């Protein structure tokens, strides 16, 4: 009886071993990721800025049996996102660069990388064309590419802004008052009145002294409401085209006025090799559109910083 029981127990043990071997073999040759004991997870993250796009992907696979456990992970990364300043720590100050005809301060904010590529953005030169201020507000807090030394001049014409008037407190169109190619246009009360002489206005004088000191490599001006950027065959031509591409503005010649004594032209011809151009916004500008324009400013500033123009 004991021998029979022993033989029976031996047969049962042998049968159990065979079943175990068969089970292990079946799990080893099984391929589908969805089988019991096998899990697969994939994580993908994409970061986009105005300058570069970085995509990383990680796949982890683990296979488990009753006797073993293995795990494998792989990571691949493409381009690296350009480094940015910490917007909470890159503030470099604010200064009053002059006063208006009616005694209002003309102030410029400074932020970014000291000694980097100097970029100047002017929000308002014609007092009743002020949509650009929304873009300036975004540029005050938006992280900057490292290497950009940014100056923000919200109001070159604080009198006009306060009075909702194109002109300064003396009735002068400041964008016809600069010394380069200045001509006498009209009389007081005329919409393009250019003043009593080149740089006759305190705002113009303050701007000239300021820019001769900081020497911007690129100066941008916001106007309304022709909704366009004028084409150029000069060095800044590619920057205009890139800004237009990023914002959806068409490249169309600005016309309809007498364009002498213009601020952007003075910058290009006096602060050589400085670049400068006008962005004509539409009648209105939404918050989302302001963000797009601010990002475009930083994108073309990065091109200037990298020497790609």
pLDDT along the chain (309 residues), means of 10: 39 36 38 36 36 35 37 37 77 97 98 97 98 98 96 98 98 98 97 98 98 98 98 96 98 96 97 93 98 98 95
Q: Quick check: bond before 86 cis, omega within 30?
A: no
Rounded Cα gap, residues 31 and 295, in angstroms: 48
Alpha helices (H) in 142-262, listed in sequence order: 158-163, 202-214, 237-247
Which SS3 state, helix, strand or coil, does residue 188 take?
A: coil
Rounded Cα gap, residues 265 and 257, in angstroms: 15
Asked if 212 and 266 count as a contact pair (C-beta separation under 8 A), the reply is no
Q: Where in the chain is the domain with CATH 3.40.630.10?
A: 91-305
What pLDDT is stored for residue 85 in this prediction?
83
Helices (H) and strands (E) in the chain, counts: 7, 9
Which SS3 state, helix, strand or coil, does residue 153 take?
A: strand
* Distant-in-sequence, close-in-space partners of 23: CB < 8 Å, separation ≥ 6: none
* Distant-in-sequence, close-in-space partners of 295: CB < 8 Å, separation ≥ 6: 50, 142, 246
Residue 41, strand partner residues? 60
* Distant-in-sequence, close-in-space partners of 138: CB < 8 Å, separation ≥ 6: 290, 291, 293, 294
Choose among 159, 192, 190: nearest CA to 176: 192
Its CATH architecture, for the domain 91-305, is: 3-Layer(aba) Sandwich (3.40)
Choose among 230, 218, 226, 106: nearest CA to 168: 106
Using the structure block, give the residue that is written with the tokens 């021998």: 3
Using the structure block, give the residue that is written with the tokens 């009389």: 187
What pLDDT is stored for residue 273 in this prediction?
80
Pairing, β 218-224 against β 117-124: parallel
Rounded Cα gap, residues 136 and 291, in angstroms: 10
Which SS3 state, helix, strand or coil, does residue 169 take?
A: coil
What pLDDT is stored for residue 111 in this prediction?
98
Rounded Cα gap, residues 214 and 92, in angstroms: 14
Rounded Cα gap, residues 205 and 203, in angstroms: 5
Using the structure block, give the residue that is written with the tokens 């000239």: 208
Rounded Cα gap, residues 166 and 17, in angstroms: 95
Residue 107, strand partner residues? 96
């Amino acid at each position: 009886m004991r021998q029979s029981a022993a033989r029976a127990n031996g047969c049962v043990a042998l049968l159990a071993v065979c079943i175990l071997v068969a089970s292990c073999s079946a799990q080893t040759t099984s391929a589908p990721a969805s089988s019991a004991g096998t899990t697969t997870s994939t994580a993908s993250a994409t970061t986009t800025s105005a300058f570069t796009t970085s995509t990383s992907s990680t796949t982890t696979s683990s296979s488990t049996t009753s006797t073993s456990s293995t795990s494998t992970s792989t990571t691949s990364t493409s381009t690296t996102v350009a480094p940015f300043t910490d917007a909470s720590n890159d503030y470099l100050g604010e200064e009053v660069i002059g006063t208006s005809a009616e005694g209002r301060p003309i102030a410029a904010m400074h932020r970014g990388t000291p000694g980097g590529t100097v970029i100047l953005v002017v929000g308002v030169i014609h007092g009743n064309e002020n949509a650009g201020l929304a873009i300036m507000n975004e540029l005050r807090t938006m992280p900057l590419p490292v290497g950009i030394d940014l100056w923000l001049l919200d109001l070159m014409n604080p009198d006009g802004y306060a009075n909702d008037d194109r002109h300064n407190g003396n009735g002068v169109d400041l964008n016809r008052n600069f010394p380069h190619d200045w001509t006498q246009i009209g009389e007081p009360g005329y919409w393009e009145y250019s003043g009593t002489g080149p740089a006759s206005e305190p705002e113009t004088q303050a701007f000239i002294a300021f820019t001769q000191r900081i020497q911007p490599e690129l100066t941008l001006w916001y106007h309304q409401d022709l909704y366009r950027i004028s084409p150029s065959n000069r060095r800044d031509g590619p920057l205009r085209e890139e800004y237009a591409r990023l914002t959806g503005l068409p490249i169309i010649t600005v016309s309809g006025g007498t364009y002498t004594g213009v601020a952007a032209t003075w910058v290009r011809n006096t602060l050589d090799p400085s670049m400068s151009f006008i962005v004509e916004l539409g009648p209105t500008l939404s918050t989302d559109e302001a963000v797009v324009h601010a990002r475009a400013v930083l994108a073309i500033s990065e091109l200037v910083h990298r020497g790609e123009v």
